[in-house]
Structure 1
Amino acid sequence: MRIRWFKDALLYLIELRKYIGNDNAHAAQDVAISILSNVEQLAEHPAMGRTGRVEGTRELVISGLPYIIPYRVKNNTIEILRVLHAARKWPTKF
């Protein structure tokens, strides 16, 4: 399957890396790599995330990090909707 990042999801990942990088460049790189490598696994295992809180979505929990990646599967594409911190209020729609 193909993976498609929505603009907001990609922008948040870039901003997250910059924010963490202000304190620790190595940690920022590790977080970004962890998120990206987990998302890449969805291409082979699209159902690996749990059922999402928003109808029609799934949620990929990033192990060891407080981030959740909501996504949906449409046709032969995995759409990465956002990168969310687990402590944030969850949106009602994407």
Structure 2
Amino acid sequence: MKIRWLRSGLVSLRSAHAYVQAESPRQARELVVRLERAIQRLEEFPNSGRNGTVPGTTELVIPNLPYLVVYRVMEEEVQILRFFHIRRYK
């Protein structure tokens, strides 16, 4: 299955990266690497997340990080909608 980042997903990732990078460039790089690994697994296991709070979406909690990815599974692709710090997600 193909992974496609929508604009909203990219914007939220860049925002989170910039926030973390202001404190620690190393942690910001690690955040992106771990996120990419988790999202790559969605290519094979697109339904591995939990049901999202918004109908039609799925949420993937990033292992050992306080972040989650909101996505939806379409016919042949996983669309990454948003990336959130769990404390900011409501």
TM-score (norm 1): 0.88
Q: Which runs of 5+ in 2 are unaligned?
A: none
Equivalent residue runs for 1:49-60 within 5 Å: 49-60=49-60
Q: Which runs of 4+ in 1 moved over 2 A?
A: none
Q: Secondary structure at the match of 1:87?
A: helix
* Alignment match, 1:27: 27
Query: C-alpha displacement at 1:63, in angstroms?
Result: 1.2
* Alignment match, 2:64: 64
- The residue type paired with residue 30 of structure 1 is E
TM-score (norm 2): 0.92
Equivalent residue runs for 1:31-42 within 5 Å: 31-42=31-42
1:7 matches 2:1: no
Q: Which runs of 5+ in 1 are unaligned?
A: none
Judging by fraction of residues, say which structure has more helix: 2
Count matched residues: 90
State the distance in 1 between where 2:67 and 2:33 align. 13
* Alignment match, 2:48: 48
* Alignment match, 1:73: 73
Q: CA RMSD in A?
A: 1.1
State the distance in 2 between where 1:85 and 1:39 align. 16
- The residue type paired with residue 17 of structure 2 is R
State the distance in 1 between where 2:57 and 2:86 align. 16
Q: Secondary structure at the match of 1:59?
A: strand
- Percent of residue pairs bearing the same amino acid type: 36
